[in-house]
């Protein structure tokens, strides 16, 4: 894989977090494959449209004004058309300035190369610290 591929994947991540900050469910979901799987604590979303619908509700409600913070910890390629990213992150709600240790997550992103570029095929998020 090339440095261009890694840069493209990092750009997708940056765009996803920019869409979160903008409260734009369509832009956020556009970076997920049509059949993508998204697993977060207590939630499972099967497909891009299911994710988009949930995000639209969240962005107009509990996540209005939220922004994500993330730090890619590791990125590697599996063959020529797949990549895995492990990142640490959190979501800061409107008015929140610091991340609580109980709100830190470790995320696993699985990217696939498509004719539209790199898209998220699967995403899983879990708390970094046990309660």
Q: Which domain holds residue 28?
A: 3-127
Residue 97, pLDDT score: 81
Chain segment 76-118, per-residue pLDDT in tens: 999 999 999 999 987 777 777 887 777 888 999 999 999 999 9
| Contact (Cβ atoms closer than 8 angstroms) between residue 113 and residue 84 | no
| Order of strands across the sheet that contains 105-114 | 43-46, 32-40, 117-127, 105-114, 82-92, 67-77
Looking at the predicted structure, is the pLDDT value of residue 131 above 70? no
Q: How many domains does the chain have?
A: 1
Domain containing residue 16: CATH number: 3.10.450.50
Average pLDDT over residues 35-61: 93
Instruction: Report the predicted TM-score, pTM, of the whole model to 2 decimal places.
Output: 0.90
């Amino acid at each position: 894989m090339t440095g261009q591929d890694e840069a493209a994947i990092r750009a997708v991540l940056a765009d996803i977090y920019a869409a979160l900050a903008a409260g734009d469910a369509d832009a956020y979901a556009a970076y997920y494959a049509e059949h993508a799987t998204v697993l977060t604590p207590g939630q499972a979303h099967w497909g891009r449209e299911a994710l988009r619908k949930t995000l639209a509700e969240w962005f107009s409600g509990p996540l209005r004004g939220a922004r994500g913070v993330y730090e890619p910890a590791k990125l590697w390629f599996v063959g020529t058309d797949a990549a895995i990213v492990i990142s640490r992150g959190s979501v800061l709600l409107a008015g929140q300035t610091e991340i609580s240790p109980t709100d830190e997550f470790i995320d696993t992103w699985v990217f696939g190369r498509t004719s539209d570029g790199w898209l998220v095929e699967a995403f899983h998020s879990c708390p970094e610290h046990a309660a």
